[in-house]
């Protein structure tokens, strides 16, 4: 009974197509985040949300958009996928407790 789930877990898509990744939580946490993880770069913040319809850009937001229409769901959209967006994408949730983040299991995205 994971409190945070990501879908899909794996996806292969073609260059130029739009792609949407979903993050769903059952913890009622206020804050949600999207990161990408690449070898040699670690985890880098794409976008985050601090409430319904409240979002902001992170370090690597170009080419990505997000939406949060309800507390439970945070969607990440690649508007026109490029090969440089091949990565593992992690969603995380938090409520500012000392435990920091809880991460989803990740989505491995390959753009061909």
Site residues for other proteins per CB under 8 A: 31, 33, 35, 40-45, 48, 50-51, 54, 56, 58, 90, 94, 96, 98-106
CB of 54 to other proteins, least distance (A): 8
Which of 85, 101 has the CB closer to other proteins? 101
Indicate the residue among 54 and 79 with the shorter CB distance to other proteins.
Answer: 54
For residues 69 and 84, give the distance between their C-alpha atoms in angstroms, rounded to a whole number: 28
Beta strands, E only, 1-85:
4-7, 10-13, 19-25, 31-38, 42-51, 54-57, 64-70, 73-78
Minimum separation from the CB atom of position 70 to other proteins (A):
19
Instruction: Of 6, 32, 45, 38, give the one whose Cα is nearest residue 111.
Output: 38
Tell me which DSSP letter residue 52 carries: T
The least CB distance from residue 18 to other proteins, in Å, is 25
Residue 106: CB minimum distance to other proteins, A:
6
Backbone angles phi, psi at 52, to 5 degrees: -60, 125
CB closer to other proteins out of 14 and 99: 99
């Amino acid at each position: 009974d994971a409190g945070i789930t990501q879908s899909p877990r794996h996806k292969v898509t073609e260059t130029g197509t739009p792609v949407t990744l979903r993050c769903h939580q059952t913890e009622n946490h206020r804050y949600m985040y999207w990161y990408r993880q690449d070898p040699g770069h670690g985890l880098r913040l794409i976008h985050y949300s601090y409430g319904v319809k409240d979002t902001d850009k992170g370090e690597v937001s170009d080419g990505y958009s997000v939406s949060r229409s309800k507390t439970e769901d945070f969607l990440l959209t690649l508007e026109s996928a490029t090969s440089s967006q091949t990565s593992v994408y992690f969603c995380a949730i938090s409520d500012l407790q000392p435990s920091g983040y809880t991460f989803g299991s990740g989505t491995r995205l390959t753009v061909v």
